[in-house]
Amino acid sequence: MQRELEPEVMDTLDEAQGYDAMDHAEPNRAFVNRLKELGAGDRMIDLGCGPGDIPIMVAGEIADSAVFGVDLSRNMLDIANRKLAGLNLGTRVEFHLADVKDLPFEDDRFDAVFSNTILHHIPKPIDLLSEAWRVLRPNGVLLIRDLYRPADEQTLEQLVEQHAGACTAHQQAMFRASLKAALTPGELGELTRDVGMTDVEVVIDTDRHMSLQTRKT
């Protein structure tokens, strides 16, 4: 199956609310657990934070962490800030409008850089990967988790039925488009070499998720 691009930004209110209404609790929990296993901490950034669930969870579970969440969707950030307002996290979580392909941060700024299911939205994924590597400090943790593209239409439809069968038609369409826009594990591995990343692992996490993880040497 060939990659089919989808819109880079979920910037309409309907798209943001539709995405936020979907149940991401299980994959979000697995993602945060992986960050903890990798030893992520201190100053961190979430590239493409969406409605803010993962930065909020990270700050609540990793002591003394400070998490920046960046996204290009104002509607997503509005949802994230409303969630944050009801919590007692002080200034440990901040949400900012920014392009993950051109981050407004200096080199080696963060102790951990992570991103969850955003890579497939980027027309040229190497742009996100290059910026993630640039702002990550030496010995910092990198975790980029995303969907991976099924081999054929039959497998794609099975995944949509299994994981979004109870969702609305619009939510199913979003999931289907995301699967079609995702990379394969092999394609992701090639991009890490193009960026100059070292000692990376591309791990198959589930029937639809893969992770790129490493510590920067």
- Res 77 pLDDT > 90: yes
Can you tell me the distance from the alpha carbon of 159 to that of 68, in angstroms, rounded to the nearest whole number?
Answer: 32
pLDDT given at position 8: 76
15: enclosing H helix or E strand: helix 13-21
In percent, the amount of the chain with pLDDT more than 90 equals 82
pLDDT given at position 50: 92
What's the mean pLDDT when you consider all of the chain?
A: 93
More confident site: 57 or 18: 57
Q: What is the pLDDT of residues 53-66, one digit of tens each?
A: 999 999 999 989 99
**Reported pTM:** 0.93
More confident site: 90 or 212: 212
Tell me which of 17-26, 79-88, 112-121, 141-150 is least confident.
Answer: 17-26
Q: Give yes or no for a contact between 184 and 148, defined as CB atoms under 8 angstroms apart.
A: yes
- Biggest CA–CA distance in the chain, Å, is 47
> What structural domains and CATH numbers belong to the chain?
13-215 (3.40.50.150)
- Res 22 pLDDT > 80: no
Average pLDDT over residues 156-175: 93
The confidence band for 15, taking pLDDT boundaries of 50, 70 and 90, is confident
pLDDT given at position 43: 97
pLDDT given at position 75: 93
pLDDT given at position 51: 94
pLDDT given at position 76: 94
